[in-house]
Structure 1
Amino acid sequence: MMMKKINRIKHPYRLVLTCIIVLLVAEGRAQSSADFPLVPFPASLTSGKGEFIITPGTGIVYDTKDGFEQALAEMSRLIPSGTSLPKPSTKVIELQKDAAITSPEGYHIAITEQRVLLSARTPAGMFRAVETIRQLLPLSVEKRSGGAQSLRLPALTITDEPAYAWRGIHLDVARHFFSISYLEKLIDRMALYKLNKLHLHLTDDQGWRIEIKKYPELTAQGAWRTFDRNDSACMHQQKDNLDMAIDPKHLVQRNGKTLYGGFYTQQQMKALVKYAADRYIDIIPEVDMPGHMMAAIHSFPDLSCEGGSKWGELFSTPICPCKESTFEFAQNIFTEIMDIFPSEYIHLGADEVDRKTWAQSPLCKTLMEKEGLKSTAELQSYFVKRMEKFFQSKGRKLIGWDEILEGGISSTANVMYWRSWVPDAPVMAARNGNRVIMSPGNPLYFDNPPDAHSLENIYQFKVVPEKLTPDEANSIIGAQANLWTERVPSENRADYLYFPRLLALAERTWSKNLDYASFQQRLPAQFNRLEALQVHYRLPDLTGFVEHNVFTDSAVLDIKKPLPSLTLRYTTNGSLPVATSPVLSKPLVIKQPVTIKLAAFTTKGLRGDIYTLNYQKEVYQQPVALTQPAPGLQCKYYKKYLLNTLGMQTLQPDSQFIAPNAIVPAAVSAPSFGLQYSGYIDIPETGIYSFYLLCDDGGTLTIGNKEVVNNDGQHAPQEKSGQVALKKGLHLFYLNFIEGGGGFTLQLKYSKGNGAVIPVPDSFFKH
């Protein structure tokens, strides 16, 4: 029997009495999640009576044979202790193995006035328990502010385990590069919220970010590039947002040119893998092929069928799957990758492949005839299957983006579903026996700008497709959010896009009993913790206004702060709000046209989104007379790829129909299309009406003679809003909408005055 060790706390932190934990009222009472700001919220939590006080005499007790060293290290980091073996104290924190806990990451916590008992069957489960304790402790443990004699934990009992085995996030380090220190910071935040998979997209057309010793040219040349169009777009935006500035630490001067880039040495990445493993997080490497390989092909032109690589209509020239030298190259790459990353899974990518050069290649025609392949999609499948066999020979499992389904795949491949416009892809994969990780672009592409709907969309996301039977649903092993970094040039920008959406994902994939209202109540305490951790998170949305406002006599800007600690600052001269701008401390009466720029600030100076509010004076629009109008709107349907709604003006529609509302009917099935709705909106009473147009891709709304909302162009789901002054009666109504491909969203809501925002009912529309 191994000796139990007791670590005595030598340097306790100062307890901040004004903090966080709501003390408990009645012993044995089941607690609502609002009473504890834990994220993700545990499966079961029951409050007790009193609290456990951690003092210099408190010991940490554990059995050395249980393998809980990392959990102990984390606990000691939170409440630092020595390594000596003092006499057991009467009050202890005990880490105990419990073979009866079935989940590999499950745990149990029991806190009384005399003891803190953490139980788990595995080291991973014990570490998750410690991270729950971390969230129960005051912010001082994050700030390292040091100090006096005690920390306090509320008496309670928790039983917990995850809903899904795969709870991941992804970071594209190829388009823009991120330092090891940032990756460590990200891993620590993942551990705090019980995420367990970090998928690193290490290579792409724009950069090769991992050292391969057999091919040093990959980083000597492929890790560096001149500024591209995405860099230019970032630099254009930085005048209004410093987070969009290119990080200067990733710039070098060579031969009179400014180059952007960087790469990780194998030694650096092995150290990062250990850092993550110590927190029970797997790093999943992705080396994307056969497409997205321009950075490699520039160094090794013979990798492609035609020699070299260039941009096609959408994607770059891929490597050639019809040369044995290609497979030798790929296997050499992945042999070194597997030496760096011990993960069970290796990601091949295998998405967005422009196969035109394969179709034209005599080598590929010969191979396809030999192997009985009928299409270049099957040729891509041939490449994936050969690489999977190689992975399996090394004891690894292949993951590919869901395009790997197109030419047929083995049932042992793992599918990462991202194409939300192909809703049956995860269903097909699950029914084929493949394990599936859900990662659809909407809502889990975190490079899409966040808005007021983002958290709820993530929280309510259905991880398991409805078409699957319970047995088939077992193939869905979890979900992952992806951050592609073409327009993410800085660590602050990455933080802003990850947080707090990462928290919604964490609870969605861990917790079995979901309650979004409770999650919202727990967020403020997590914002305080994120700020203590120096995370550049996105502040909650401000409400009580639209972007384009109107008034007939006067208007009142009255904003309800989402957090009482925020300070609202504004300008009226076109400049951006800063920490010294005027404070909006009470409702602002507006009697003249004005443009107001508004932002919230935390006490530490973090600035939230900048809102630009335009106010214009209007008279009420007069209604039109119409005899016996019929229900619904006229709709013209254009089966064409369009960059914006103006592209429909000179076209003849492919068909026309009557729609009950401004929705996309099920009969609209073209991958790219445009819709023009026209008719009348029946306003029930005179007033100022706000309209909210949520679009993916673009849309515009015109009522009477006024464009009320312009949300045009190709973009991810985003909502824009505007107001119009309308008299009771019928008013001309036009709504134009385009879908460029990749899945659509169209939703129109309204409010009158300070009323609730609700969908526009069918009864409002006439033609």
Structure 2
Amino acid sequence: MGGLFHRFRPEGSAGDGPAGEWSIPIPTKGARVRRHRLHLPGSLHLLGSLLLVAATGLFTSGAAPAPAPVEPRPLAQVIPAPASVTEAGPPYRITGTTGIRVGDSPAARAAGEYLADLLRPATGYPLPVTRHGAGGIRLRLAHDGPYGAEGYRLDSGPAGITLTAARPAGLFHGVQTLRQLLPAAVEEDTVQPGPWPVAGGTIRDTPRYPWRGAMLDVARHFFTVDEVKRYVDRLALYKFNKLHLHLSDDQGWRIAVDSWPRLAEYGGSTEVGGGPGGHYTKEQYREIVRYAAARHLEVVPEIDMPGHTHAALASYAELNCDGVAPPLYTGTAVGFSSLCVPKEVTYDFVDDVIRELAALTPGRYLHIGGDEAHSTSHADYARFMERVQPVVARYGKTVVGWHQLTGASPARGALAQYWGLDRTSDEEKAEVAKAARSGTGIILSPADRVYLDMKYDRTTPLGLSWAGYVEVKRSYDWDPGSYLPGVPQDAVRGVEAPLWTETIENSAHIDHMAFPRLPGVAELGWSPAATHDWEDYRTRLAAQAPRWDALGIGYHRSPQVDWPAA
């Protein structure tokens, strides 16, 4: 009877309690039943009976109707959109008896423990992670399957759910899909009433591009390890696989370098606006790398050079052509600083920094910046890049640079990150296209599409607008495969959403600028081009809002999306 009911019996009749006692079972969170007993003296027995009969009328005729059952979310209602969806049959319901089976695979166990940790707080269920059993949720690695490095298959039906992948990253991405298929309340950190249905059917899913990145600028404003981890968790939900950390700029140097200690100690001591700044010790950086790797994100560290180097120049006089260290800088201008290209000490500095950073970074890539070197002549810029790119290779990493690198001579296998605009000159675009046709891979980060620090509109309290206003539709509604004229489709490695932090100071600011645009970038990188449809996407995006509320993500309520009532 609507979740609360009672029964009573006359004195002396058979039942589960002594005469004069009424038993009122009240379901509690987690489907457990707590039984409350009312003890009435004999003289009040008849009165008690009448009172309970009256109460029955309250609960059966005057109470609101029982809530409608929770309908499972359709399998296609996730972000990024899956490659293939087949809806079929009744759902599976996660209950107190559900277990997570992982077999003998350590990778499957890691994914299973991650899933259990996600689900336990809100469901209140034990969700044991076991090697054997039947039914429930099964995670399995099938190394000969058609899933690639990151794909997966999800099968759901009344008997259980099976996630299958060829590699651990695929299992992890499948877990994120399963997470989104559950009601948004699953993100809460206290027990919720449920139920927890997952629609029946099959998802077959593989990513469109191997590079699905997000960049966080920790140089303009410094962010703690915990703040970076928080952003990593946001990225993992939407199947990003690269965390690009912008570790140095004019306003701050954020990573300890043993051979040049003043870089972090002095160069990292401030930030935009003159705040205290900060830097990561080597162990703190390793912790970020470990945390990201556990969520299948590869950290791509960036040391921007030869420009954007004022913090380094302020730390060491010998890096300046005149041998004089300038004072620290806390403004927001760009293009005024440069390492001294002719000096040999510059390349000792570069070698030491890259060697130490490469040793800390297990990933394949190291970003050397290269943008907005306006105070460096073109000849010096080309000379610098010819000297620096082989250093990256010597320490076992692949070069990534901003697309100005294509104006020099990109190393074999290098990647160029394009951040231009629709209005960028045809000559500059042609330079990038020529490099792409010669084997340079392209990462697309057009500033007037996916720069998360751009204002949504003129009323946005944070962010910049030099690239224009970037609303949700503009951020989503373009095709990376055909964006740059003359760039072969197979040269496009993927997409990345940079978040520069001249005006961004804390996690709340990050959330407001990243959401709701970040999931759209994820979909551009993961989902087949045929699935990209703004009207369908904006509906799926609106359905994410309760999940963000449960996660504590303060997002921008764009007028382009029909959000649920606040």
TM-score for the superposition, normalised by structure 2? 0.79
SS at match of 1:318: coil
Partner of 2:138: 94
CA contact (8 A) 1:315 1:353 kept: yes
Q: CA deviation at 1:518?
A: 0.8
RMSD after superposition: 2.8
**AA at the equivalent of 1:70:** A
> Kindly tell me: are residues 429 and 107 of structure 1, through their superposed partners in 2, closer, same or farther at Cα, counting changes over 3 Å?
same
Aligned equivalents of 2:211, 2:129: Cα separation in 1: 38
Q: Deviations over 1:586-612 (max 9, x none)?
A: xxxxxxxxxxxxxxxx3xxxxxxxxxx
The one of 438, 447, 455 equivalent to 1:441 is: 447
Look up the match of 2:101: 61
Alignment partner of 1:293 is 2:327: no
1:641-720 equivalent positions in 2, closer than 5 A: none
Q: Mean alpha-carbon deviation: is it higher for 458-467 or for 299-308?
A: 458-467
Deviation at 1:209, TM superposition (A): 1.0
In structure 2, the CA distance between the partners of 1:468 and 1:563, relative to structure 1 (3 Å rule), is closer
Instruction: Give SS of 2:102's match.
Output: strand
Amino acid at match of 1:211: A
Alignment of 1:89-128 (within 5 A): 89=134, 91-98=135-142, 99-128=144-173
**Residue 416 of structure 2 contacts residue 442 of structure 2 at CA under 8 Å; is this kept in 1?**
yes
Alignment of 1:228-307 (within 5 A): 231=273, 259-307=275-323
AA aligned opposite 1:333: V
Q: Which residue of 2 aligns with 1:180?
A: 225
Paired letter, 1:308:
V
Does the Cα contact within 8 Å between 2:557 and 2:563 map onto a contact in 1? no
* TM-aligned CA deviation for residue 535 of structure 1: 0.9
Cα distance in 2 for residues equivalent to 1:12 and 1:106: 36
Question: Which amino acid in 2 is paired with 1:455?
Answer: V
1:347 aligns with 2:367: yes
Task: Give the aligned partner of residue 523 of structure 1.
Answer: 541
Q: Deviation of residue 66 (structure 1)?
A: 6.4
- Give the aligned residue type for 2:417: M
2:512 to 496, 500, 515: 496
**Kept in 2: contact 1:379–1:407 (CA 8 A):** no
Q: CA deviation at 1:390?
A: 1.4
CA deviations over 1:95-129 (Å, ceiling 9, x no partner): 12232224211111110100211111110011100
Q: Does the CA contact (< 8 Å) of 2:320 and 2:339 recur in 1?
A: yes
1:537 aligns with 2:559: no
Distance 2:238 2:94 in 1: 23
Give matches, 1:147-186, under 5 Å: 151-186=196-231
In the TM superposition, residue 14 of structure 1 has moved relative to its aligned partner by: 7.4
**1:515 Cα deviation after fit:** 1.6
The aligned counterpart of 1:217 is 262
CA distance in 1, matches of 2:67, 2:237: 22
Give the distance between the partners of 1:192 and 1:563, measured in 2 at CA: 20
Deviation per CA, 1:347-368: give whole Å up to 9, x if none: 0001111345xxxxxxxxxxxx
Aligned 8 A contact 1:12 1:151 in 2: no
Aligned to 1:323: 343
CA displacement at 1:259 relative to structure 2: 4.3
The equivalent of 1:614 in structure 2 is none
Report the number of matched residues.
478
Greater percentage in strand: 1
Do the aligned partners of residues 385 and 41 (structure 1) sit closer, same or farther apart at CA in structure 2, a change above 3 Å counting?
Answer: same
Cα–Cα, structure 1 residues 92 and 491, in superposed 2: closer, same or farther, change >3 Å? closer
CA contact (8 A) 1:210 1:265 kept: yes
Distance 1:299 1:194, change over 3 A: same
Residues 324 and 14 of structure 1, relative CA distance in 2, 3 Å threshold: farther
CA gap of 1:164–1:86, structure 2 versus 1, over 3 A, is closer
Whether 1:462 and 2:483 are equivalent positions in the alignment is: no
Aligned partner of 2:82 in structure 1 is 42
Q: How many Å apart are 1:316 and its aligned residue?
A: 2.6
Alpha carbons of 1:96 and 1:490: their partners in 2 closer, same or farther (altered >3 Å)?
Answer: closer
Aligned partners of 1:23, 1:219: CA distance in 2, in Å? Answer: 49
Gaps of 5+ in 1: 1-10, 25-30, 232-257, 357-375, 543-560, 566-601, 603-767
SS of residue matched to 1:64: coil
CA distance in structure 1 between the partners assigned to 2:334 and 2:211 by the alignment: 31
Q: Match of 1:415, SS?
A: strand
In the superposition, relative to structure 1, how do residues 151 and 259 fare at CA in structure 2: closer, same or farther (>3 Å)?
Answer: closer
2:403 maps to 1:387: no
Cα separation, 2, equivalents of 1:41 and 1:13? 32
Distance apart, 1:418 and its partner CA: 1.0
Q: From 190, 196, 212, give the equivalent of 2:235.
A: 190
SS of residue in 2 equivalent to 1:63: coil
The within-5 A match list for 1:330-341 is 330-341=350-361
Q: How far apart are residue 149 of structure 1 and its match? A: 7.9
CA contact (8 A) 1:464 1:473 kept: yes
Is the 1:478–1:509 contact (alpha carbons within 8 Å) kept by the matching residues of 2? yes
Check the 8 A contact 1:12/1:150 in 2, yes or no: no
- Paired position in structure 1 for 2:117: 77
CA contact (8 A) 2:101 2:112 kept: no
- Equivalent-residue separation in structure 1 for 2:210 and 2:100 (angstroms): 29
Q: Is the 8 A contact 1:458 1:508 kept in 2?
A: no
Q: 1:187 offset after TM fit, Å?
A: 0.7
Measured at CA, do residues 465 and 147 of structure 1 come closer, stay the same or move farther in structure 2, by a change above 3 Å? Answer: closer
Flag the 1:140–1:411 CA change in 2: closer, same or farther, 3 A: same
Give the match for residue 419 of structure 2.
418
Aligned equivalents of 1:67, 1:491: Cα separation in 2: 31
* Contact 1:167/1:195 (<8 A) preserved: yes
CA, structure 1 residues 96+215, in 2 after alignment: closer, same or farther (shift >3 Å)? same
TM-score by length of 1: 0.59
Counterpart contact for 2:257–2:356, Cα < 8 Å: yes
Cα 1:116–1:326 change in 2 (3 A) is same
Other structure's SS at 2:215 match? strand
- Shifted more, 215-224 versus 199-208: the winner is 215-224
In 1, Cα distance between equivalents of 2:555 and 2:388 = 39
The residue type paired with residue 113 of structure 1 is P
SS for the counterpart of 2:454 is coil
Map 1:577-596 to 2 at 5 A.
Answer: none
Q: C-alpha distance in 2, partners of 1:79/1:497?
A: 28
CA 1:147 to 1:403, structure 2 compared with 1: closer, same or farther past 3 Å? closer
Deviation at 1:194, TM superposition (A): 0.7
Tell me, which stretches of 5 or more residues in structure 2 are unaligned?
1-27, 33-65, 121-125, 458-468
3-state SS of the aligned residue for 2:138?
strand
Q: Is the 8 A contact 2:240 2:297 kept in 1?
A: yes
Instruction: Tell me the residue number matched to 1:615.
Output: none
Between the aligned partners of 2:542 and 2:227, the Cα distance in structure 1 is 24
Tell me the alpha carbon deviations over residues 267-314 of structure 1, each in whole angstroms, 9 at most, x when there is no partner. Answer: 111011111101110111001111111111111011022223669995
The structure whose residues are more often helix, as a share, is: 2
2:244 matched residue in structure 1: 199
Secondary structure of the equivalent of 1:296? helix
Q: CA deviation at 1:469?
A: 6.9
> Of the candidates 426, 437, 440, which is equivalent to residue 431 of structure 1?
437
CA contact (8 A) 1:222 1:298 kept: yes
Using the alignment, how far apart are the partners of 2:92 and 2:489 within structure 1? Answer: 42
Q: 1:69, CA displacement in angstroms? A: 3.0
Distance in 2 separating the partners of 1:218 and 1:453? 35
Q: What SS does the corresponding residue of 2:110 show, helix, strand or coil?
A: helix
Report the CA distance shift for 1:264/1:467 in structure 2 as closer, same or farther (over 3 A): closer
Higher relative contact order (CA 8 A, sep 6+): 2
Give the C-alpha shift of residue 416 in structure 1: 0.7
CA distance, structure 1, for counterparts of residue 286 and residue 500 of structure 2:
23
Q: Report the 3-state secondary structure (helix = DSSP H, G, I; strand = E; otherwise coil) of the residue aligned with 2:379.
A: helix
Partners of 1:444 and 1:147 in 2: how far apart?
A: 36
Letter in 2 for 1:167: R
1:434 touches 1:475 (CA, 8 Å); kept in 2?
yes
